[in-house]
Amino acid sequence: MSTPAPQTKEIPYDKIRAVEWENGRLKLIDQRILPGKFEHLYFDHLPDAARAITDMVVRGAPAIGVTAAYAVVLAARDRYKENPNGWQKAIQADLNFLAEARPTAVNLCWAVEYMRGLINAGISGDPTPRLLAEAQRIHADDIAANRHMGELGAALIEPGSGVLTHCNTGALATGGYGTALGVVRAGYAAGKIKSVFADETRPWLQGARLTAWELVQEGIPATLIADSAATYLMKQGKVAWVIVGADRIAANGDTANKIGTYMTAVAARHHGVKFMVVAPTSTVDMNTPDGAAIPIETRAEAEVLNFGGTRTAPEGIQAWNPAFDITPATLIDAIVTEKGVVTNPTRDKMVEMMAR
Residue positions annotated with a catalytic role: 247
Look at residues 342, 162, 179, 165 and name the one whose alpha carbon lies nearest to residue 246.
179
Look at residues 38, 21, 19, 22 and name the one whose alpha carbon lies nearest to residue 210.
38
With beta carbons less than 8 A apart as the criterion, state whether 176 and 146 touch.
Answer: yes
Q: Is 322 helix (H, G, I), strand (E, B) or coil?
A: strand
With beta carbons less than 8 A apart as the criterion, state whether 325 and 254 touch.
Answer: no
Instruction: Write the DSSP assignment of 10-63 as a string of letters.
Output: --TT----SEEEETTEEEEE-TTSTTT---EEEE-SHHHHHHHHHTTSS-SHHH
Q: Is 216 helix (H, G, I), strand (E, B) or coil?
A: helix
DSSP H or E stretch at residue 282: none
Q: Is 297 helix (H, G, I), strand (E, B) or coil?
A: coil
Q: What are phi and psi of 93, to 5 degrees?
A: -65, -35
Look at residues 214, 182, 352, 200 and name the one whose alpha carbon lies nearest to residue 281.
352
Q: Is 259 helix (H, G, I), strand (E, B) or coil?
A: coil
Identity of the residue numbered 41: L
Look at residues 204, 209, 212, 208 and name the one whose alpha carbon lies nearest to residue 184.
212
Cβ-proximal residues to 139 (8 Å cutoff; 6+ apart), any chain:
5, 6, 19, 21, 66, 69, 70, 175, 176
Cβ-proximal residues to 177 (8 Å cutoff; 6+ apart), any chain:
11, 14, 143, 146, 147, 150, 170, 171, 185
